[in-house]
Amino acid sequence: MHDERRRIEERVERVHNQRIKAAIYADTVPLEVVAWHAPGEPVPFEEAAAAPYEPFAMDTPWGPPWGTTWFKMRGQVPAEWAGKRVEAVIDLGFVGDWPGNQAEALVHLPDGTPLKAVNPLNQYVPIANPATGGETIDYLVEAASNPDILADDFSKTTHLGDVLTAGDKPLYTFQRADIAVLDEEVWHLDLDLQVLRELMVHLGEHEPRRHEIMHALDRAMDTLDLDDVSGSAAAVREVLAPVLARPAHASAHTVSGVGHAHIDSAWLWPIRETKRKTSRTFSNVTSLADEYDDFIFACSQAQQYEWVRDNYPKVWARIQDSVKKGQWAPVGGQWVEADGNLPGGEAMARQLIHGKRFFIEHFGVETKGVWLPDSFGYTAAYPQLAKLAGNEWFLTQKISWNQTNKFPHHTFWWEGIDGTRIFTHFPPVDTYNARFSGEEMDRAVRNYREKGGGTRSLAPFGWGDGGGGPTREIMERARRLADLEGSPKVVVEHPDDFFKAARDEYPDAPVWNGELYLELHRATYTSQARTKQGNRRSEHKLREAELWATTAALNAPGYAYPYEKLDRLWKTVLLHQFHDILPGSSIAWVHREAEAEYARVAEELEVLTAEALAALGAGGPRVFNTSPYDRSDVVRTADGAPAYVEVPASGSAPLTDAQPPQPVKAEGRVLDNGLVRVEVATDGTLSSVLDLRSDREVLAGQGNLLRLHTDLPNYWDAWDIDKHYKNRYTDLLEAESVAVVEEDPLLGAIRVTRSFGKGSTITQTITLRAGSPRIDFDTEIDWHEAEKILKAGFPVDVRAAHSSAEIQFGHVQRPTHTNTSWEAARFEVSGHRWVHIGEPGYGVAVINDSTYGHDVTRTVREDGGTTTTVALSLVRAPRIPDPEADQGAHRFRYSLLPGASIDDAVAEGYALNLPLRVADAAGAPEPVVSVDGEGVTVEAVKLADDESGDVVVRLYESRGGRGQGVLRTGFPLAGAQVTDLLERPLETTDVSDDGTVAVTLRPFQVLTLRLRRGTTSR
């Protein structure tokens, strides 16, 4: 047989694209359109309905960036269309085919009922099936003219990312608003051809099935009447029916399709636009559920549900109905799909708590899995937290983006730092926006790493990132692929059903231990530093407000614990931990609003904390310590003078001068407190840090060396830092001044000022306090660089085999060598409050109050000694998607802690992030809880969320070893229970005769205790 593949394939392509698709809507009549351009921000439906409208013609430009235009569309179905399937077709002037980053609209009925959304891949609105003829169409359409931020594929900067800088030039030209007949036979023929053509080209040339399909397509084209596509479509489908009916092989891979609409809670659009995106997408999804009984849609992010509930109650009611029918599956169990590395431990717990509670309360559904397809790596604390929240499985897809190493599994058990394992799946289709194309189905089978052990994988299907969701075309593809030779079998099912089947067939799946490190998007640990600082400050201020509010509730009659306010503030912080806000990868508008929101959160939390302390009564200045560790430190009195104080963990003490071990001396460029001696060079770096306790020089080079690197990644500016950044840099060694600015027996400080680059300045105050070996670097930066990253390096004279970095409820160890490509790929990593390096007998910690990114490198000197360098990433200057990212003022603190153990790093990490607070208060209320015992650390103290008055305490083992301790309460204790994260009882624990609770923890174990108060004193 002659090889005619090219002729046939090209013939089918042309006829399909130019004739068949054009015949899907053959009969049309235009709608009458009038328009009202809303000024400023979006308005409610009622205001838009009453606005003055003007005539509007097709091919008319409309829509300034971030604008809203309301269109009234009216028309009547022709009488001769009776018995046909009639739809409205609306084209706002769409560009490309991505629904989420351009014009989109929500169609309403005259009474304000949201009907359905339109976007590039979902332009129809159903009118009647079948029509009777004469139906009246009366729509009010809210159209958003959102700019296409990625029009140049990340290659050019744009000021369209903020309404303040975007201008007012119309972005779109309205193309079409018609009433049309959907020719169902032609529409189904189009789908038959799509599925068969894509299957054919992804089968090997040696496969008989490929040639069978090809010749069937050729015969089908012979059957098609080009002058009467509609009339001949049924006959053409009959020719194709046999090849569509051939069943899949018995051993074919099974793809479990789950409807999905990834909606970033903010990214290339602000939060206010996401609120509208949810209504559009969810309207489409519930409409599709009405049309397809076999459709199942998985949707995460409780915050988005709440937006719909509050702003679109009719859409909310449709969602509730779909959940009852089993077609809508709440998943994920988190408030938002948060970043997987940066939120603190308690914040990560609250993501799960608030998310799961929302779904239980509003749907009676307890979600079973963590759904995080698009975060940028995942902390090794996740398995334990997920299981403590009642989850059984974990899903993500993003690790498939690895830059260097291909992850070895798609289905596996993921083991966290404490030993907890959770069943985990990465869809080998390598997208969370699948559409069941031939290429995707082929890729899912080729990629799947568990062949021979498992037989199934999951594919989230539907257009996403900016929403859109599944379409009827995707559902039709799934139906055709349910049992088709040459393709994996597709079944649409609930993700819980997929995970149960996958676990049942592969219970001994391989184990991956430790973090799921994404070898890409490493700059998200640093970009938009003010957003990250706002998150860190908010997390610690929430801890502080909860502790002192609990203290006041237990000790101050009449004080009311602020349940509602704390709940609202937590949810605000959780929202901004979304995986494109906290990582710093959103447009300028998003980060501008985030910074303002963090300021409001801080102000309100300051008020709540002050109210709680005031409720304890007036009685003179006291010092309050929110840290779970005893503190000896220097604070400022009301007149600004330093005072040395000793304060118990989670407790308070009078503001009276205690006696420090030794005074601080500040002479020339040297600070000395009897514990460490710090010498600052004329260039402003540290030339020496002598640990006087061990008579050991800590540094092996210039300490606090500020290094400015060129930082232009290959692709995604705000997301990535590529390894070549290390090759070009400038050391900032020209100090304008180095001078002692404070000389007191309790503290000494040297200030260093620098100017560099394009008008940037850095002012650092290096402080040493009495009684502490910690050296603080208070840093103020006025930043005006572009495509640069600033690092602060500390070369330490230790031979560290690994570094330890704090993560949620513990720490991870990472090798300092680069023996394999896996270690080499970790050239930039994340950590929370501290990084520790050491050798047997001696260690050093670098502590921070708001940075997350760092690197640790190791070199051997000519003298044979080893230098291990910790370099903190302080600030970047990406230009896409926000061309002004990080510009302007920054203020933060980091510290060097010589002679530090892991315990020291943990304690000082808390101390730096939870400054002592001085307030006027009476008496000395006992700490709500205190713990005697090594390694047992209190992370949160609060009243129970059910408002029962019980006290909830979250503890964890912080050293990585066995932890044993005794928990004491500052109130009569009647009983204690171990609970899950949602404060539901797991087991009762004994309370001893003296009112204490014995605590035993495995390494890094998280334990939540619910403490019932007694009525009499002990």
The answer to whether residues 119 and 94 touch, using CB atoms and an 8 Å cutoff, is yes
Q: How many CB atoms lie within 10 A of CB 781?
A: 23
CB 599 within 8 A of CB 556: no
Q: Which residues, 6 or more positions from 454, have their beta carbon under 8 angstroms from its beta carbon?
A: 410, 411, 448, 502, 505, 506, 509
> For residue 113, which phi and psi values (nearest 5 degrees)?
-70, 120
Three-class secondary structure of residue 906 per DSSP:
helix
Q: Which residues pair with 852 in a beta bridge?
A: none
Rounded Cα distance between 839 and 237, Å, is 73
Q: Which of 922, 924, 931 is nearest to 1011 (CA)?
A: 931
Strands (E) in 648-734, as ranges, are 652-654, 665-667, 670-672, 676-680, 686-691, 696-697, 705-710, 729-731
Q: What letter does residue 745 receive in the DSSP assignment? A: S
In whole angstroms, how large is the CA radius of gyration of the chain?
A: 31
Rounded CA separation 747/765 (Å): 12
Beta bridge partners of 105: 118, 143
Peptide bond into 61 cis (omega under 30): no
Nearest 5 degrees, angle CA 418-CA 424-CA 429? 150
Q: Which amino acids are annotated catalytic?
A: 374
CA quadruple 224, 226, 230, 232: dihedral, nearest 10: -30
Sign of CA dihedral 537, 539, 542, 548: negative
Burial class (CB in 10 A: 0-12, 13-18, 19+), 432: buried
Rounded Cα–Cα distance for residues 79 and 521 (Å): 58
| 541 and 914 Cβ atoms separated by less than 8 Å | no
Structure tokens at 584: 């710093």
β-sheet bridge partners, residue 835? 805, 846
What span, in angstroms and rounded, lies between the C-alpha atoms of 991 and 976? 7
Is the separation of the CB atoms in 787 and 857 below 8 Å? no
Q: What are the structure tokens assigned to 304, written together?
A: 């988005």
Distance CA 685, CA 873 (A): 17
For residues 399 and 373, what is the distance between their CA atoms, to the nearest angstrom? Answer: 9
Measure the CA–CA gap between 713 and 877, rounded to whole angstroms: 12
Residues 742, 749 contacting (CB under 8 angstroms): yes
Helix (H/G/I), strand (E/B), else coil: 178:
strand
| Pair 923, 619: CB distance under 8 Å | yes
CA dist 961 and 934 (Å) reads: 10
**Cα separation of 634 and 62, whole Å?**
62
* Whole-number Å distance between alpha carbons of 721 and 828: 8
The residue behind tokens 């309050």 is 624
Beta-bridge mates of residue 483 = none
b (16+ CB within 10 A) / e for 47-79:
ebbeeebeebeeeeebbbbbbbbbbbbebebbe
* Cα–Cα distance for residue pair 817/809, rounded to 1 Å: 26
Bridging pattern class, strands 172-173 and 176-181 = unpaired
Contacts of 84 (CB under 8 A, 6+ apart): 130, 131, 181, 182
